[in-house]
Homo-oligomer: A and B are copies of this chain.
Amino acid sequence: MKLHILGCYAATPRTLTNPTSQVLEIRNHLFLIDCGEGTQVQLRKHKIKFSRISHIFISHLHGDHFFGLPGLISTFQLLGREKELHIYGPKGIKEVINLLLKVGNSWTGFELLFHELESKESQLVYQDSKVKVSTIPLDHRIYTNGFLFQENPLERTLNVEAVRNYGIDKAYFKMIKKGNDVTLDNGKRISNKLLSLDPPSPKRYAYCSDTAYYPEAIKHFQGADVLYHESTFLESEAHLARKTKHATAKEAATIAKAAAVKQLLLGHFSTRYKGLHAFESEAKTIFPHVLLADDGKVFEF
């Protein structure tokens, strides 16, 4: 599982910082999460193939999370895209994109499939044989969802040496990988554990931005491998966090601790601060496994 941070700053694009966007590589998918202004240029900078993106998840309809989407769709069109594009986001996103296509008389040659969200409960929004994606309802000034990306469990791995030693026929391999025991022709039953190895455990990535401190959400990502949680402010600006329904680094860490995630990744930093070190140290007073996002960083989990 690989996470490319294209932008992780709040509010407004600047010369050296970008509003929110990230690409999650998971089981051969490239999922684009949020799409602030300039995302398509960040994709180019980081050499991420546009054609590999087929699913875009938009948390909420504030500009710093989706004003890059109309331009990205236009560019897909200019690049001659034919493959359908799925967009998951709050109700209203379809009307916005369709109006922009209409006024520009720039209808796409590929199919745009909107999956509009309006439920306040978590919903499964995408599923295939490898992964599933569900929403994490959050608490922000407007309707907002985080997203939980989960790998499906992989099949068990054949223990090639053991299988050979027991002289087991190829015909059994499929059922061994599915976790079944094998009964030989002589009636001897061999436990699956002797014939196969545990697969890598399925990874779970939770994306929570933007949101106030919202313990209600924890149940959706308990024990996740990675939690990206917004920390727009430090505790010294907690009053601004309250007012704008954002979280502080300490609050993000409190959520991470209560959810017992393996790793907390902080992002969505206000550009008022010089440097990010204070976010890390504030969060570490609560929870030890803290990483800092930054534009252009790539994390492998």
Q: Do B61 and A104 touch across chains, with their CB atoms under 8 A apart?
A: yes
Query: Within 8 Å of chain B (Cβ to Cβ): is A160?
Result: no
Query: Within 8 Å of chain B (Cβ to Cβ): is A113?
Result: no
- The CA of A141 and the CA of B101, in the complex, are separated in Å by 14
Mark out the residues of chain A between 90 and 122 whose CB falls within 8 Å of any chain B CB in the assembled complex.
90, 92-93, 95-96, 99-100, 102-106
Query: Within 8 Å of chain B (Cβ to Cβ): is A15?
Result: yes
Query: Within 8 Å of chain B (Cβ to Cβ): is A49?
Result: no
Query: Within 8 Å of chain B (Cβ to Cβ): is A240?
Result: no
Q: Do A141 and B93 touch across chains, with their CB atoms under 8 A apart?
A: no
User: How many copies of the shown chain assemble into the complex?
Assistant: 2
Number of residues of chain A lying within 8 A (CB) of chain B: 36
Query: Within 8 Å of chain B (Cβ to Cβ): is A215?
Result: no
A106 in contact with B62 given A15-B44, A15-B45, A41-B15 (CB within 8 Å): yes
Residue of B nearest to A142 (CB): B105
Q: Do B74 and A63 touch across chains, with their CB atoms under 8 A apart?
A: yes
Query: Within 8 Å of chain B (Cβ to Cβ): is A14?
Result: yes
**9 more CB-based (< 8 A) A-B contacts, given A12-B78, A15-B41:** A12-B74, A13-B38, A13-B41, A37-B38, A38-B41, A63-B70, A67-B70, A90-B103, A96-B100
The 7 closest A-B pairs by CB, nearest first: A92-B103, A61-B103, A37-B71, A63-B74, A12-B75, A67-B71, A61-B104
